[in-house]
Structure 1
Amino acid sequence: MTEKINIPQLRFPPHSDRRVWLISSGDNPIGLNVARQILAHGDCVVSGVVPSNITRDENRRTYFEDFLAEVERNEEHGWKDRFRAFVLDIRKMGECQAAVAEAVNLFGRLDIVLCCTSQTVVGSVEELAASPRTLSLVRDQFETNYFGPVNIIKSALPQMRSQRAGHFLVLTGITAHLGTPGLGVYCASEWALEGFCDSIAYEVAPFNIKVSILQCSMEICILTNLISSAPPILPAYSASENNAPLFRNILDGLVSRLPQAAGNLNNNNNNNNNNNNSSSSSSSSNNSEIATPKSNNSENTQKTGPFSSPHDVVTMYAPFSSAHLEALTLETVHAITAIGGHENPPSRHIIGQEGVAAVKEKLKTVSEELEDFVQSSYSVNIHESTTEEEFNGDIM
């Protein structure tokens, strides 16, 4: 008999009025499960959904359609009146502004914005610089993971300033603390977003607007969103030549053990010739169709893993069932609902025991290195005995 998982009850901060949420990606597993919980709690939700011109994984589409049916079934509890799905590509500023306007027009205000849109580009820095196609992946990475959240934050700020209240929840990962081989571009986009959030938090604090960064475990944001991998074309970064464990190898080992992994591979070596000239609203996923790989690649896929195609960029979603996705995102959803709208929220919150341990180890290493070279830091200081006249004199 399978032991039942003990799931802690979700907790929400105390509040008197019904709150209005805007979720940047309401059709990804995290956004969808958050929407379900806050609708059950009694709040209002505007959920961004992927535009129809961007191909989605069939399982994810079904997952979202099942949620819409659940909203219909709970009409007597007010879910339908308190929920709106809004087509949103957060890389487009105009659509972000329209989503904010939709929330305000429907519900009168906007209290909490959850930025949970993400995608992952896998590959060494050199591999990602090898062709126009891989360079377009780098641009797409920053358009989605950095400029997208920046767009929606900037769009919501005028409304929150006028209310003199609001809360931004920005979902990143411990990859914003830890450099990871094979995820250099992904980590860079996360670090950039956190630097933006840390800075803007000071700017908007006088308006009673809060900014909270939520760092979930590495696998959460990566395995619940689109993953694109550059082909491993450089032998110098192979496992036999390089001791640094590239994330691609770890991902291959994990996804290869999941059912239907091969069926979710993206054979996207067609229609990519124009990616180098695409605008900022273009994404590698726009030109992609989730499909079963050709038979001549299946043997290689079985031997090396789904992300190690030697010739093509591979794009896919990890083939989890809806039950697996719900379990995978449980801790993250719990943290979002507990912190969202809190009167005194943390500026940065690390989700999960493993993430806390990893960040503590990184901070310990930084502290030790600081102490090892602290005298080198002090040695460049101007001596206390130096007078102002000496300092202002000719020292060149």
Structure 2
Amino acid sequence: MTEHLPPSGSGQSHFPTHDAPRVWILSGGDSMLGIALTRRLLAHGDYVLSGVTPSNPEREDPRTAAFEGFISELALVSPEWLERLRPRPLDIRMMSNCQSIVADAINYFGRVDILVCCSSQAIVGAVEELAASERTLMLIRDQFETNFFGPVNIMKACLPQMRKQKSGHIMVLSAITGHLGTPGLSAHCSATWALEGFCDSLAYEVAPFNIRTTILQATIEIGILTNLITSVPPILSAYSPNTNHAPLFRGILNGLLMRLPNLRPGGGGPGTTAAAGSYSPETTTSTVSPTASSTTTTTTIPSPERTRHTHHTHTHTHDSHDDSHASNLPLSAPTIVSLYPPLSPAHLEVLIAETIHALTSIGGHENPPARHIIGSEGVASVKEKLKTVSEELEDFIQCSCAVDISVEGVTPAAGGGGGSAFGSVGGMIRPASEEMAARAGF
């Protein structure tokens, strides 16, 4: 008799009814959220192809140990569950790799029913800080490769099979940053907005094939605290908290990380340790000039086209801003810092429980929502933002109408052609075809 593992997190999942076990593909199966979701899916009797970040000797990824522990647990407690799980290396930034794992799922399980795009990372820094060097500009590109082009790749790889089946469900784990801009998270927010716009358009295109799409907007903590965070150096004094009152997200994260017992001051520098079973910072090698006027950072740069990493060295020039207290904060070091927030397993289970419940309740539903906001806090934030946008649109419409040329005020040119190619200037632009139709009484 199969011995079942205890479910991760609180609450019970309400899976939609279906005639047979479904096949899931998880793009981030080795994340803590991916592991918890896989546990629920296997307990329900479904099949899972879990995308696992390829191992890299140059970067210690705490998710690797957590996922290996999960596999060992399955082998000991429930071998039957292990037969329905197929872990595969996945670099979501590479289209060929995405196509390979989809083909593997089809060969192994026979079909693909649900795709969950749950790979993410966050780049922290003001816009001018992100533009300080080639290295920081590369971080922005990598943010889009992982958070936008990666999900696009895996979706495009799944679509041919879903069209052939005439069924499928694409679920994208987004965040309320898809509606709300956040100071200090411009790269993360812009990639999120781009992905949601892509999915909104895709939904119309694939609906005739009975393929459903759902965007799940989780709270900002889900995407940030369960994945890799990279912070660029706070080199511009203009954005120091002492002189700029904009609530940069770096300050919020610093306040949170400093309260975690598993993270020592200094962020992702060498020697930082974390308790077993929790996330630990990525090692970053850096040297600081004795004059404090420049910082030379040697880090591994994730290439959008390759799974391996290459070394580059760049020099950042500082403004005359030297805050010894700030440099002791995890994400305010004078070098680029990358780390996984060292949350305990108990904290992580509480944090992701509501998101796991939403994924299992919506996944495979016959008529799923196009967009679902997870949590009352997110709903309140989005409602407030939409209220503000509505007021701005009213002002925009009034200003546009004020400079619009009315149809009655336009005198047709000789010969009946009718003046300009457009029926208005400086505001709401109307094509000439609509203008002529209006004159003709249509």
Structure-2-length-normalised TM-score = 0.80
Residue equivalent to 1:280: 304
> Separation in 2 of the partners of 1:54 and 1:151?
25
> Separation in 1 of the partners of 2:14 and 2:380?
24
Amino acid of the structure 2 residue aligned with 1:235: S
> Separation in 2 of the partners of 1:300 and 1:199?
48
Paired residues of 2:60 and 2:283 also in contact (CA < 8 A): no
Residue equivalent to 2:155: 153
Residue equivalent to 1:393: 418
Offset of residue 62 of structure 1: 2.8
> Separation in 1 of the partners of 2:88 and 2:255?
36
Paired residues of 1:63 and 1:322 also in contact (CA < 8 A): no
Distance 1:241 1:257, change over 3 A: same
User: Alignment identity in percent?
Assistant: 54
Alignment gaps of 5+ in structure 1: 1-5, 289-298
> Separation in 2 of the partners of 1:324 and 1:244?
29
> Separation in 1 of the partners of 2:307 and 2:250?
21
Higher mean Cα deviation, 299-308 or 158-167? 299-308
1:355 paired with 2:378, answer: yes
> Separation in 1 of the partners of 2:309 and 2:18?
40
Paired residues of 2:326 and 2:332 also in contact (CA < 8 A): no
Distance 1:57 1:256, change over 3 A: farther
> Where do residues 297-308 of structure 1 align in structure 2 (5 Å cutoff)?
304-308=328-332
1:21 paired with 2:24, answer: yes
Residue equivalent to 2:437: none
> Separation in 2 of the partners of 1:235 and 1:351?
37
Paired residues of 2:23 and 2:47 also in contact (CA < 8 A): yes
Offset of residue 51 of structure 1: 0.3
Distance 1:318 1:57, change over 3 A: farther
Paired residues of 1:57 and 1:317 also in contact (CA < 8 A): no
Offset of residue 280 of structure 1: 1.8
Residue equivalent to 2:356: 333
1:124 paired with 2:126, answer: yes
Aligned residue for 1:79, secondary structure, equals helix
1:49 pairs with one of 47, 52, 55:
52
> Separation in 2 of the partners of 1:8 and 1:63?
22
> Separation in 2 of the partners of 1:303 and 1:313?
12
1:374 pairs with one of 378, 397, 400:
397
Whichever of the two has the greater Rg, that structure is 2
1:268 paired with 2:268, answer: no
Paired residues of 1:181 and 1:247 also in contact (CA < 8 A): yes
Paired residues of 1:22 and 1:45 also in contact (CA < 8 A): yes
Residue equivalent to 2:316: none
Residue equivalent to 2:342: 319
Aligned residue for 2:14, secondary structure, equals coil
Offset of residue 387 of structure 1: 6.8
> Separation in 1 of the partners of 2:246 and 2:300?
31
Distance 1:388 1:218, change over 3 A: farther
Offset of residue 217 of structure 1: 0.2
> Separation in 1 of the partners of 2:44 and 2:219?
26
Distance 1:156 1:385, change over 3 A: same
> Where do residues 57-136 of structure 1 align in structure 2 (5 Å cutoff)?
57=60, 59-75=62-78, 78-136=80-138
Paired residues of 2:56 and 2:308 also in contact (CA < 8 A): no
> Separation in 1 of the partners of 2:219 and 2:375?
7
Structure with the bigger RCO (C-alpha within 8 Å, sep 6+) is 1
Structure-1-length-normalised TM-score = 0.89
Offset of residue 30 of structure 1: 1.2
Paired residues of 1:133 and 1:272 also in contact (CA < 8 A): no
Offset of residue 241 of structure 1: 1.2
Higher mean Cα deviation, 318-327 or 31-40? 318-327
Task: State how many pairs are aligned.
Answer: 378
Distance 1:195 1:378, change over 3 A: same
Distance 1:378 1:125, change over 3 A: same
Offset of residue 109 of structure 1: 0.3
Residue equivalent to 1:11: 14
1:176 pairs with one of 149, 156, 178:
178
Higher mean Cα deviation, 347-356 or 47-56? 47-56
Offset of residue 63 of structure 1: 1.9
Offset of residue 192 of structure 1: 0.7
Q: CA RMSD in A?
A: 2.6
Offset of residue 302 of structure 1: 8.0
Distance 1:386 1:287, change over 3 A: same
Paired residues of 1:74 and 1:80 also in contact (CA < 8 A): no
Residue equivalent to 1:197: 199
Higher helix residue share: 1
Offset of residue 366 of structure 1: 0.8
Aligned residue for 2:127, secondary structure, equals coil
Paired residues of 2:125 and 2:184 also in contact (CA < 8 A): yes
Higher mean Cα deviation, 34-43 or 57-66? 57-66
Residue equivalent to 2:36: 33
Paired residues of 1:228 and 1:314 also in contact (CA < 8 A): yes
Distance 1:214 1:329, change over 3 A: same
Paired residues of 2:284 and 2:337 also in contact (CA < 8 A): yes
Offset of residue 274 of structure 1: 8.9
Distance 1:205 1:363, change over 3 A: same
Aligned residue for 1:85, secondary structure, equals strand
Aligned residue for 2:81, secondary structure, equals coil
1:309 pairs with one of 313, 333, 339:
333
Deviations 1:130-180 (A, max 9, x none): 011111111110110011000000001101010001011001100111000
> Separation in 1 of the partners of 2:127 and 2:241?
16
Offset of residue 304 of structure 1: 4.2
Paired residues of 1:140 and 1:283 also in contact (CA < 8 A): no
Alignment gaps of 5+ in structure 2: 1-8, 265-271, 273-279, 287-295, 313-322, 422-442
Aligned residue for 2:10, secondary structure, equals coil
Residue equivalent to 1:294: none
Distance 1:265 1:33, change over 3 A: closer
Amino acid of the structure 1 residue aligned with 2:164: S
Aligned residue for 1:9, secondary structure, equals coil
